Amino acid sequence: MLLSLGLILLCQLVGEAIAHGTGIAVPGPVIGLVLCVLLLLARDRLGRRVPVELADGTFEQTGRGILSHLSLMFIPAGVGVIQRFDVLAGNALAITAALVVSTVLSLAVTAWVFSVVAGRAE
């Protein structure tokens, strides 16, 4: 469990180092996500030479544990809304319209394009 957590943090750390070191636009945690997939693929290659914790499903379980509370992690930034009431109220119409219309449009376009292209390919 602890090793799994350490490895997840290591992926993020290396990801941040790559992002800041090279100055590319890709965010550190997203590079970490790719590294996490590579780590699991490497594990499959190495067979029995990896630590037990990586091979017995503990790593996957730890990741699922973190992901099952993804909603919780947005609360601290969300509570910041109490600081911004003035800006939100001052631009209420522009902000509300932009958020609502753009969110509904992008949901619809994304899902529609996905299912049309998938329907043609399959």
Partner 1 sequence: MNNDVFALWVYLARTPLLWLTVTILAYCLCDRISAALHRTPLANPVLMSMCLVGVLVRVSGTPYATYFDGAQFIHFLLGPATVALGIPLYQNRQLVMRAILPMLCALVAGSLTALVSAVAIARLLGAAPSIVTSIAPKSVTAAVAMGISGRLGGDPGLTAVLVILTGILGAIVVTPLMNRLRITDKRARGFAAGLAAHGIGTARAFQVNPLAGTFAGIAMGLNALLTAIVLPLLL
Between 33 and 55, name the residue whose CB sits nearer to partner 1.
33
Min CB(11)–partner 1 separation in Å: 5
Between 52 and 72, name the residue whose CB sits nearer to partner 1.
72
Between 52 and 59, name the residue whose CB sits nearer to partner 1.
59
Min CB(88)–partner 1 separation in Å: 7
Min CB(110)–partner 1 separation in Å: 3
Cα angle at 16 between 57 and 11, to 5 degrees?
15
Measure the CA–CA gap between 56 and 91, rounded to whole angstroms.
53
